Amino acid sequence: METTLRGVGVSHGVAIGEVRHMGTAVLEPPARQIPAEEAEREQGRARQAVEAVAADLMARGNLAGGEAQAVLEAQALMAQDPELIAAVDRRIAVGSTAERAVYDAFAAYRDLLAGAGEYLAGRVADLDDVRNRIVARLLGVPMPGVPDSDEPYVLVARDLAPADTALLDPTLVLGFVTEEGGPTSHSAILARALGVPAVVALPGAVELAEGTVIAVDGSTGEIFVNPGEEKKAQLEASAAERKAALASATGPGATSDGHKVPLLANIGGPADVAAALAAGAEGVGLFRTEFLFLDDSKSAPSEGKQLESYRQVLEAFPEGRVVVRVLDAGADKALDFLTPADEPNPALGVRGLRTLLEHPEVLRTQLSALAKAAEGLPVYLEVMAPMVADRTDAKAFADACRAAGLRAKFGAMVEIPSAALRARSVLQEVEFLSLGTNDLAQYTFAADRQVGAVSRWQDPWQPALLDLVAIAAEAARAEGKSCGVCGEAASDPMLACVLTGLGVTSLSMGAASLPYVRATLAKYTLAQCERAAAAARAADGADEARAAAQAVLSGE
């Protein structure tokens, strides 16, 4: 019997195929005592397994490249965490086997993070994956992971670790569905980069039987279980229509009546440039420089290393616009040399610009590297600070940019509600705003962006979030300055139209989403976008806002 389920669509497209489940997690190793004379040998086994897993994660990262590489390298560092290794050694010294010691040490650390209010939930999921890989190696059993199959399938899992998502083969994995996760989780971001249709936060996903035929609509978040021939034909026709629209939409972003909306790409480094150019990006709206710093969490990269990376990106967009976000360290992007280890609530502590102002030498080096990287290039460089809360923050950043001799526009990210509410004040110090809707939603609704249980408040269609976008965009218009969106909200084609109607002046997203947004935006006039935006803001919830905007744009 055909049934319909609904999760959160995080990567566009339609996939129809049989369910294949992710390999089962490693079973809990038995607790048994070892003689004291075997302790040293067991400690050696544990270290060898740790190093092998770390090397495997690094190798996977090198194969994947781009943002995936940075995520996997951070996971490798997690595996080699000296505190965790010391905890394993202590457990072995009092009689645990290597595999049991690893299991228990990771469990204790996991409980510690969960007890901190789950603000590091994303790292908890990654920690579980590292633990499973080390224990599997010690037990001599297959690694948990993507199933072997000669035929294409839809992958279903409780959650997907970055190590699995990064190397999905899109010729075999038609799409994926997870029970956990949210629209801004690592797996969701990597799915969009791969162009694989994906739905997350689907209740009961793991209960779908192996071999069941399902249809996944990554745009709507709908899952059709045992779809009939009519439903399959309808979905395939819709997918074909989207593909044709994508092929016909080329050139700069604009509404059907010629209102220009530059469409830019979000990137993590030089490895992401090729995909952005292939998708027709008009520039870069968010260059996440923290991925460069994650190569070594114990020290900042040298000015020379930074300069080389920045120069490669800037050279790729001659006479284009490149917006660089300076280091956003803290919360789930902890760096040993910057991030306090004992913060009880990292997402609300010393993060982003606050961290840089406490470590001015790190900011100074980065700004100097950016200034030198742009020398002699016709590129339009813009540099923005993360986690700006007020005018004082904005002034401190602008002063630092000027002191570094940076010839660029200085901007502020709007990720904290106070910055949106006081946007005109912030704009007295900087020349543009960029809305980071992922964090803006997190702080507006007190809903951790990595926790699937609160994903409904991470939905960028929430009217309260749209209100804050409208406030910031209106402030920028009043000051004669620009206000873009670089959060994942921009990757939703219909929402991109609404954001345009709210007064946003540019949209930045993962490269895979650019054709969808370009094609959709070109179908509507600016007036239609404005009416859709007004209808969405008048709604009381995300689903109602989405439906109201859809009704306006479809002429209902």
Any catalytic annotation for residue 186?
A: yes
Is 285 within 8 Å of 507 (Cβ atoms)? yes
Closest CA to 499 of 262, 202, 178: 262
Active-site residue, from 12, 401, 483, 486: 486
Q: What is the CA radius of gyration of the chain?
A: 24
Residues linked to residue 215 through DSSP beta bridges, in sequence order: 16, 224
Is 369 within 8 Å of 306 (Cβ atoms)? yes
- Chain position carrying tokens 């004291």: 36
Any catalytic annotation for residue 486?
A: yes
- Chain position carrying tokens 């000015």: 303
Closest CA to 264 of 287, 241, 245, 282: 282
CA–CA separation, 14 vs 231, rounded Å?
12
Cα-Cα-Cα-Cα torsion 15, 248, 513, 508, nearest 10 degrees, comes to: -170
Amino acid at 310: Y
The pairs formed by 268-273 with CB atoms below 8 angstroms and a separation of 24 or more are 268/66, 268/67, 268/70, 269/66, 269/67, 269/70, 269/309, 269/313, 270/309, 270/312, 270/313, 270/316, 271/65, 271/66, 271/69, 272/66, 272/67, 272/193, 272/511, 273/312, 273/313, 273/316
- Chain position carrying tokens 């192996």: 210
Is 285 within 8 Å of 486 (Cβ atoms)? yes
Cα-Cα-Cα-Cα torsion 485, 190, 269, 483, nearest 10 degrees, comes to: 0
Active-site residue, from 12, 186, 497, 529: 186
* Residue 113, Cβ density class (10 Å: 0-12 exposed, 13-18 middle, ≥19 buried): middle
Cα distances (angstroms) measured from residue 266 to each of 272, 332, 341, 501: 9, 19, 29, 22
Catalytic residue annotation:
186, 486
